[in-house]
Homo-oligomer: A and B are copies of this chain.
């Protein structure tokens, strides 16, 4: 199975229904995962998918107790192996330990029991055969959460391009080392806790969509660090910024869109498919639908989505480009985030990132490029922007323009502005 070789594969992720995860429930937890994986693999075989990525994104107690995480990982690996032997189903296993470092506040990012257990889980799962290692890392979220609520783009840039970048550099150096030692792949990260939070808040009309779109663009600078440290893709599914990272790195990327509605609604249901190497449902609980357990139903939906992509690809680059054109055009007139995640926009944002002298300036440039793309499209009538959002185009622009040229000046001013009690500055080399 070659990811990024032209063929698109489904990538399935699933999670528990309402239940506790603890020592006494672990037999039930294991039974749930066994039910989910066997049902999904049965359907994947029946539909003759060309191959499959299965992601196991752990729940916090499974990272805190690596034995529990490994028990489930081993069940999944065993079932994947059995499906391969019995039905010739090709598959790849992605292990995504939940980043538990924020279980204490302020988070301890670089040491301690939480860190040790998380790293242990990466290491043991890689040794057990997890071919892809991923994480939704959280460094910088301490500041980003507040910054989103006040729509303060300067603070978002601080959270992402200063705090996030420094944390990811530390974390991904470790993950890359684990991957290398175990002969598996450091895959990639996602700005889930940052840009997806913004996107979901915007869907709920709590913050402007144009702001969420700019946050997405900025978030690429942070997620890029994984690849700077040795990750090779596919970047994690919920990282919608992956399309920008693909333009920079050329690495394959997991994407998700409409078929992840089970996990969250989004304004980018089709456009997100235009650059995917695997196509994911993000995560679905093990609840019963009339058609079967929800993971099985979503397996089927992904399988058919992917068949369509691959049929277009099979007709050559022009045909593939035509399908992508429709996927893109379907969304980009209705939402600013859809617009900036179109491959053509992503290339422009990527260019602005790689031409910048440092991560901070790259973040500012990415934000400005996104904002200009949105403003131009709004002005030429090709993008709808809700009346209540229009003033935000100027607000964000002014805020971006006011940011200093120099990174250390920026950091100093931000350390004054943000709530520094929510994080440990030493964990971000900020002392």
A residues engaging B (CB < 8 A)? 15, 43, 46-48, 203, 257-267, 269-270, 283-285, 287-292, 294, 296-298, 300-301, 303-305, 307-308, 310-312, 315, 319, 322-323, 325-327, 329-331, 334
Contacts and interface: CB of A to CB of B under 8 A. Distances in A.
Contacts of A301: 258-259, 261, 269, 301
Contacts of A297: 261-262, 265
A300 B330 contact: no
A302 to B, nearest CB: 9
Nearest to A287: B287
Contact of A258 (B287, B300, B311, B326): B300
Contact of A329 (B46, B266, B311): B311
Contacts of A308: 270, 326-327, 330
B330 A307 contact: yes
13 contacts: A47-B267, A47-B334, A48-B334, A265-B292, A269-B303, A269-B304, A269-B307, A284-B290, A301-B301, A304-B331, A307-B330, A308-B330, A312-B326
B300 A261 contact: yes
A327 B322 CA distance: 14
Given A284-B290, A315-B326, A319-B322, 15 more contacts: A47-B334, A257-B304, A258-B305, A262-B297, A263-B291, A266-B300, A269-B300, A269-B303, A270-B307, A270-B308, A285-B289, A304-B330, A307-B331, A310-B330, A312-B326
A262 B299 CA distance: 11
A308 to B, nearest CB: 6
A297 B300 CA distance: 16
A311 B326 contact: yes
Contacts of A287: 287-289
A260 B327 CA distance: 21
Nearest to A306: B330
Contact of A265 (B43, B257, B319): B43
Contacts of A47: 267, 334
B300 A290 contact: no
Nearest to A200: B291
A301 B43 CA distance: 20
A297 B312 CA distance: 26
A85 B163 CA distance: 48
Contacts of A323: 323, 326
A300 to B, nearest CB: 4
B291 A264 contact: yes
Contact of A294 (B270, B289, B307, B311): B289
